[in-house]
């Protein structure tokens, strides 16, 4: 039963466990044997925008959106105000998490002070309190500084989470990503620092990751649903198609799908990056970089990959749970009958519906998947025995 439960079972098969979890007053749910139980997902790349930019998203709205998408753990990026480059600055964020988050939120500390790329952050002071270190949104250009950061991250027993962007190349170019990745992997070989690459989008980057893994380096990577299901041929003059790194060619999309199948890509993350309506309404050229993804990730991946026979359901679930949980030491598996405070999600995998950004719980509405017909609707999310999301049932 325990092995089967990891990849999804029907309500009928674990009805007793679920009823126990929902025994608190007001937690009633209209059970149907057509529903499927899945683990809570873990997203290792999320922007909750608070502190500093709460008009885009808050920890409250972002974690509600995550729960509505079946996520029970998220890693948050450090491009905030203040940037979590010291324990004091981190505390501003964790105080809000403590009071407002409805799921597990695991902050990343910044690699450099203020994400300015000039001086390494207080790695030693932050390491016990963060899931890793990143300057997400910008690449660290100074080779010596990046090496120093990696050495200190390694000594602190943590992991470097890298946004690879070499600013000597246009952001839209392939070189901007894979040239800095190539530099970073050389530094990983020198320092032995555990390394995770964010949002891989090019076939050249995948070749470098494969080579590094064959060489025995402690390297992992993620990609996002939009890189797996879209190519630059589908881009329109609309801010909802603008993200960093940009969507690449059909050949890159195919290479990413192959890399999912052969294990080169370790996990899928959303890079949920909400902005205000004004910031995303200036056409493709003038809009801010970033789209939302927490509430669409599983439906899009299930519909476009699993239902079309590209990826087995079991593998997709591992990419969203087991692999990120193990790499970042977070999350949990599905409960068994003896779990007193289970974490799990309930899904309707049969109903087809249209993605409607107006119905999102996130403050962000900008998604390239608006209007898509998908299957896979989260009905219920339970975190440590507590209902954190329940879809209204008619």
Average pLDDT over the chain, rounded to whole? 91
Q: Please say whether the structural domain 2-390 has been given the CATH code 3.20.20.140.
A: yes
Q: Report the share of the chain in percent with pLDDT over 70.
A: 89
- 173-225 tens-digit pLDDT: 999 999 999 999 999 999 999 999 999 999 999 999 999 999 999 999 999 99
Q: What pLDDT does 26 receive?
A: 43
207 by Cβ neighbours in 10 Å (0-12 / 13-18 / 19+) ranks as: middle
Mean pLDDT of 337-343: 71
95 tagged catalytic: no
Q: Domain spans of the chain?
A: 2-390
Mean pLDDT of 337-356: 85
28: left (phi over 0), alpha (psi -120 to 50) or beta: beta
| 143, 271, 339, 384: the active-site residue | 271
Mean pLDDT of 315-342: 83
Mean pLDDT of 26-30: 50
Q: What pLDDT does 224 receive?
A: 98
pLDDT interval class at 65 (50, 70, 90): very high
Q: What pLDDT does 318 receive?
A: 94
Q: What pLDDT does 347 receive?
A: 92
Q: What pLDDT does 19 receive?
A: 55
> CA-to-CA distance for 361 and 376, rounded, in angstroms?
17
Q: What pLDDT does 36 receive?
A: 86
Q: Which residue has the higher pLDDT, 360 or 37?
A: 360
Beta-carbon neighbour count of residue 141 at 10 Å?
14
Q: What pLDDT does 342 receive?
A: 79
């Amino acid at each position: 039963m325990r092995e089967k439960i990891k990849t999804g079972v029907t309500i009928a098969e674990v009805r007793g466990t679920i009823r126990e979890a929902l025994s608190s007053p007001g937690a009633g749910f209209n059970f149907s044997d057509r529903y499927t139980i899945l683990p809570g997902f873990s997203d290792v790349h999320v922007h909750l925008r608070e502190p500093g930019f709460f008009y885009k998203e808050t920890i409250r709205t972002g974690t509600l959106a995550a729960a509505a998408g079946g996520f029970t753990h998220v890693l948050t990026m450090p491009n905030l105000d203040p940037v979590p480059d010291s324990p004091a600055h981190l505390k501003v964020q964790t105080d809000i998490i403590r009071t407002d988050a409805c799921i597990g939120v695991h902050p990343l500390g910044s690699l450099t002070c203020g994400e300015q790329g000039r001086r390494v952050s207080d790695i030693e002071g932050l390491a016990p309190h963060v899931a890793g270190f990143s300057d997400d949104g910008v690449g660290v250009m100074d080779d010596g500084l990046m090496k120093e950061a990696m050495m200190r991250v390694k000594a602190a027993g943590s992991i470097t989470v890298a946004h690879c962007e070499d600013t000597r190349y246009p952001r839209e170019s392939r070189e901007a990503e894979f040239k800095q990745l190539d530099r970073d992997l050389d530094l990983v070989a020198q320092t032995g620092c555990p390394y995770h690459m964010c949002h891989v989008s090019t076939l050249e980057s995948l070749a470098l990751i494969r080579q590094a893994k064959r060489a025995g380096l402690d390297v992992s990577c993620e990609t996002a649903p939009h890189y797996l299901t879209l190519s630059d041929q589908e881009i329109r003059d609309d801010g909802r198609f603008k993200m960093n790194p940009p969507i690449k060619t059909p050949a890159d999309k195919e290479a990413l799908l192959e890399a999912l199948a052969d294990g080169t890509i370790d996990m899928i993350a959303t890079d949920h990056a909400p902005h205000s309506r004004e910031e995303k309404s200036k056409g493709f050229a003038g809009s801010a970089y970033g789209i939302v993804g927490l509430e669409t990730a599983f439906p899009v991946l299930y519909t476009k990959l699993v239902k079309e026979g590209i990826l087995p359901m079991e593998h997709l679930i591992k990419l969203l749970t087991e692999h990120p949980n193990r790499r970042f030491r977070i999350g949990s598996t599905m409960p068994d009958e003896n779990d007193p405070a289970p974490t799990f999600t309930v899904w309707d995998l049969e109903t087809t519906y249209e993605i409607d950004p107006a119905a999102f719980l996130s403050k962000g509405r900008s998604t390239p998947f608006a209007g898509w017909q998908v299957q896979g609707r989260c009905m219920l999310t339970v975190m440590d025995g507590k209902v954190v999301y329940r879809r209204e049932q008619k």
